[in-house]
Amino acid sequence: MIPRYSRPDMVANWSPETKFRIWFEIEAHAGDAMAELGTIPKENADAVWQAKDVPFDIARIDEIERVTKHDVIAFLTHLSEIVGGDAARFVHQGMTSSDVLDTCFNVQLTRAADILIADMDALLAALKTRAFEHKETIRIGRSHGIHAEPTTMGLTFARFYAEMARNRDRLDTARAEIATGALSGAVGTFANIDPRVEEHVCKQLGLKPEPISTQVIPRDRHAAFFAALGVVASSIENLATEIRHMQRTEVLEAEEFFSQGQKGSSAMPHKRNPVLTENLTGLARLVRMAVIPAMENVALWHERDISHSSVERNIGPDATITLDFALARLTQVVEKLVVYPEHMLENLHKFRGLVHSQRVLLALTQKGVSREDAYRLVQRNAMKVWEQGADFMEELKADPEVTAALSGPEIEEKFDLGYHTKHVDTIFARVFGDS
């Protein structure tokens, strides 16, 4: 985790405080369930809740861990310091460390998913607003980086909206993948703990009981979770790349917002760098790099080995913190993106009408000109535009062979940009519904 690429809520989700609080809740709820089942005395179960609003002393827990070399034992020792050793003597009974650790990890991932989903909603809102704002803002569509046919900036925003809406669904699915808990003992047989304890704890924590676990929750769930983050990150790179292209000097159809105070922007007005979207491109790589290790984590030996743990200590916080930051940064970029419709038109007209050559070609053939002749006619006029800087429409109108097939107004009609935007409403209705 790089502090400069992090936001407080997600960082807090991975703090020791949060972790120990979740551990506490798992232990306390488990105690309730055991008391209900008659396994431990109710007063002992109740006593644990005294620690509910007592802040844990992280330094103290660390101190104990340095002696015991076991994090869960260190926490339990500290807990008994708070509620009294006698009251706490049934805490954790029949449980294994993994019951606490794994369930806690999934609580944290689930909450991380909630934050990411909220981030995504904000991004979707920004994209929708900009899409409607620029629904009719004409720009040239490009394939291979080369001018193809006109489209609109609204369609650009709309397609990223649709892509991010799919990503929202993927985050929902990813959240469901890891919203499970397990308190099933050393090898998952519930030998020392009743399955109903697991059910109660999971319910209280908003999780589903893992139907079958070993010592740990199966890691295919986590692989699927991080894979989903990797897809989201790739979409961020996609949108970031679009903006980087739009901002490059020769294109200049949009710019990331520059605050007034930002150094150097007015003495070198041409030198406004798309550093936010470049940064997002890098952050996407960082999120994506969690995918393969998460998949390599799936094949644990027998009922568990601990190779996954160090990986998850890293990618759990890092991938979610980075993605949270990236989504929020991207939302800002979209909200404040400075769009230059006039530059879009300039670019579109860069080759003085050549972009319409294919429509003219089609029109000629539809008027009965043979394919070969039509091609020859378009070509000779196109070449004047390309090599001599002429205007395509004027050349066509001045070419008798062309005008023999197409009248002036017919030629002009082929240069009508409305031809390309006639289905924008249809597409918007598909993407945003009829609202």
52 binds a second copy (CB under 8 A): no
Shortest Cβ 47–a second copy spacing (Å): 20
Shortest Cβ 103–a second copy spacing (Å): 17
CB-nearer residue toward a second copy: 122 or 252: 252
Residues 256, 243: contact at Cβ < 8 Å? Answer: yes
Q: Look up 144 and say whether it is catalytic.
A: yes
Site for a second copy in 291-350 (CB under 8 A): 291-293, 295-311, 313-314, 318, 347, 350
- How far is C-alpha 222 from the chain's CA centre? 16
Separation CA 149–CA 169 (nearest Å): 31
Number of H helices, E strands in the chain: 20, 6
Task: State the maximum Cα–Cα separation within the chain, in Å, rounded to a whole number.
Answer: 104
Q: Look up 97 and say whether it is catalytic.
A: no
Shortest Cβ 114–a second copy spacing (Å): 20
Separation CA 406–CA 285 (nearest Å): 53
Residues 316, 222: contact at Cβ < 8 Å? Answer: no
Q: Any bridge partners for residue 238, and if so which? A: none
Select the span of 12-20, 21-29, 103-111, 373-381 touching a second copy (CB under 8 A). Answer: 373-381
Among 109, 116, 120, 378, binds a second copy (CB under 8 A): 378
Select the span of 17-25, 52-60, 379-387, 401-409 touching a second copy (CB under 8 A). Answer: 379-387
CB-nearer residue toward a second copy: 25 or 76: 76
Site for a second copy in 162-201 (CB under 8 A): 162-163, 166-167, 170, 173, 177, 185-192, 195
Binding mask 245-284 for a second copy (x = CB under 8 A): x-xxxxx----------xx--xxxxxxxxxx--xx-xxx-
Q: Which of 15, 97, 265, 309 is labelled catalytic? A: 265
370 binds a second copy (CB under 8 A): no
Separation CA 63–CA 61 (nearest Å): 5
Site for a second copy in 3-42 (CB under 8 A): 4-5
Q: Any idea what DSSP says for residue 390?
A: -
86 binds a second copy (CB under 8 A): no
Residues 67, 29: contact at Cβ < 8 Å? Answer: no
Separation CA 290–CA 225 (nearest Å): 10
47 binds a second copy (CB under 8 A): no
Select the span of 20-28, 29-37, 65-73, 119-127 touching a second copy (CB under 8 A). Answer: 65-73
Q: What share of the chain is helix, strand, coil (3-state, %, to 5)?
A: 65, 5, 30
147 binds a second copy (CB under 8 A): yes
User: Structure tokens of 171?
Assistant: 């985050």
Alpha helices in 134-274 (DSSP H): 153-178, 195-205, 220-247
10 Å CB burial of residue 275 (0-12, 13-18, 19+) is: exposed
* Selection from 70, 166, 109 nearest residue 318 by Cα: 109
CB-nearer residue toward a second copy: 144 or 434: 144
CB-nearer residue toward a second copy: 25 or 421: 421
Select the span of 50-58, 74-82, 103-111, 232-240 touching a second copy (CB under 8 A). Answer: 232-240
Q: Tell me the one-letter amino acid at 155.
A: L
90 binds a second copy (CB under 8 A): no
CB-nearer residue toward a second copy: 25 or 94: 94
Binding mask 126-145 for a second copy (x = CB under 8 A): --------------xxxxxx
398 binds a second copy (CB under 8 A): no
HSE-up of residue 191 (Cα within 13 Å, Cβ side): 8
401 binds a second copy (CB under 8 A): no
Place of tokens 């890891």: 178
Residue 122 main-chain phi, psi, to 5 deg: -65, -40
Catalytic residues: 144, 265
